[in-house]
Amino acid sequence: MPDEACRGKAKASSRALAIFVGGGLVAIPNAVLGLGSSDTVLLDATVGVAYNSNVLGISNELPSAQLNQLLGGRSEGDWIFDYGAGLRLDLPVSRQRFEVDLAATRYDYDQFTELSYTGYTARGTWDWRVGNDWNGQLKAGVVQSQQTYFSGLVVNVPAVVRNYEELVDAHYALTPRWDVYGSLSAGQSVYSQAAFQQGNFNVWDEAIGATYRSPLGNSTGARLTFEQGEWPNQPPVGVAQLSSNTYTQYTLAMTLDWRLTGRSQLSGDVGFTSRTLGGTTSQGPSGRVTYTYSASGKTELQASLYQTFGPLQDPTVSYAKTTGIDLGVGYLATAKITLQAKLTYQKIDYLATPLAGVNASRSDKYWILGLGARYQATRTLSFSAAAGYENITSNVPFSAFDVYTVSLNANLAF
């Protein structure tokens, strides 16, 4: 199943600070620490604390007097405490495999108590197989989280959103080396606060493709994807770029997963995207290419280049082009300690926005640095720490700001 066809519509950038809080920055070298695959049912509990230096994403261009008035005696930063529990089920039945992931986490803010919320995940997956030639996946789930938006003016108030996903795909082995597939997927984003519900979003994907696997195990293929998106609560307005609250998009891409040497691998997809929204059309090269190099048995380096077209996870941005590069390294310091680092540069060009005028030709640039560490104290108990810094500049006044975060988490799995 091609990742791009089912990846929830976070086609948007990865700039959310959850990148850092989770501590998962880059792929870990081969020996990922954790419980073995033989554990059918896994229960876990988590507790943590994080600090965010700019909870509301306040512009650093705002004069001090207005800043103090906006904050009402509170500081820009805040401590966030979290605690939660989850259950994971991995159940093979004959040639089928069923997976269930359930989790809930409470986040309590110290100063900005109005931002406290409960996040949760409920997801089920059926990996199916019929005979020797047919296999695929059926998946459905919902995730509730808090998204901090970086496209507002002056402030960027976090909002709680529920993201739903549904997917069905099927693969057929034409020969031992040729595989053809098709997939249907859908996603919905629903905001809890009434002020953000104009950004509610629905999307549907249909994809067909074929893949050839060489005798050495390298795979090369092609995929055609049709996507349609809709903002059901966003009435069309009288400007050319938003004369419709729906868009259609076609992407033709070459897919690849090549083992170049014993230490290096090249994977991803490279193609061309054409999108129509109202009376306008935008198009250009699209895709992501990732190069992974194992410098040693303990160190893995990774670099990704990408350009994507699509809606951001943001009620103030209908459609954007995101161009960026990610650089990461993972280091297995000991059998129990993993260190990670990631550097990201992104340029986001607004192609359509409900805030026509100020944001009509907006372009933002992001520098993101993340550091993380994980310590597997015992088979069931682990600790993680993370730190991140993010700097945003823009050609639109009162949009630039920066923020840093630090976090510490403990996880007990049994």
The pLDDT value recorded for residue 281 is 81
> How far is it, in rounded angstroms, from Cα 386 to Cα 405?
8
> How far is it, in rounded angstroms, from Cα 38 to Cα 100?
15
Mean pLDDT, residues 243-263 taken together: 90
Give which of 1, 2, 86 is closest to 411, Cα–Cα: 86
Task: Tell me what the pLDDT averaged over the chain comes to.
Answer: 86
- Contact indicator for 349, 360 with CB cutoff of 8 Å: no
> How far is it, in rounded angstroms, from Cα 161 to Cα 193?
8
What residue segments make up the domains of the chain, in order of their start? 3-38+88-102+121-413
Mean pLDDT, residues 366-388 taken together: 97
Mean pLDDT, residues 22-38 taken together: 40
100: which 2 tokens?
Answer: 């269930």
Pairwise pLDDT comparison (339 vs 310), residue with the higher score: 339
Secondary structure class of 369 (helix, strand, coil) = strand
pLDDT tops 90 at residue 73:
no
194: which 2 tokens?
Answer: 């009434």
- Contact indicator for 343, 368 with CB cutoff of 8 Å: yes
The pLDDT value recorded for residue 310 is 83
pLDDT tops 60 at residue 390:
yes
pLDDT tops 90 at residue 83:
yes
> How far is it, in rounded angstroms, from Cα 352 to Cα 319?
5
Query: What would the pLDDT profile of 298-334 be if each residue is shown by its tens digit?
Result: 999 999 999 998 877 666 666 789 999 999 999 999 9
Of 66-80, 223-237, 246-260, 335-349, the range with the lowest mean pLDDT is 223-237
Identity at 80, one-letter amino acid code = I
- Contact indicator for 165, 141 with CB cutoff of 8 Å: yes
The pLDDT value recorded for residue 9 is 37
- Contact indicator for 236, 198 with CB cutoff of 8 Å: no
Task: Categorise residue 368: left if φ over 0, alpha if ψ from -120 to 50, beta otherwise.
Answer: beta
Q: Which residues pair with 190 in a beta bridge?
A: 162
pLDDT tops 60 at residue 11:
no
Report the run of H or E that residue 304 belongs to, with start and end. strand 299-310
Identity at 173, one-letter amino acid code = A
Q: Which CATH number fits the domain 3-38+88-102+121-413, given the four candidates 1.20.120, 3.10.350, 2.60.120, 2.40.160?
A: 2.40.160
Give which of 258, 176, 239, 251 is closest to 208, Cα–Cα: 251
> How far is it, in rounded angstroms, from Cα 381 to Cα 364?
41
The pLDDT value recorded for residue 37 is 44
pLDDT tops 50 at residue 114:
yes
SS3 content of the chain, % helix, strand, coil (to 5): 5, 60, 35
Report how many helices (DSSP H) and strands (DSSP E) the chain contains, helices first. 3, 18
Query: What would the pLDDT profile of 124-164 be if each residue is shown by its tens digit?
Result: 999 999 999 999 999 999 999 998 766 778 888 888 999 99
pTM, two decimals, is 0.85
The pLDDT value recorded for residue 247 is 87
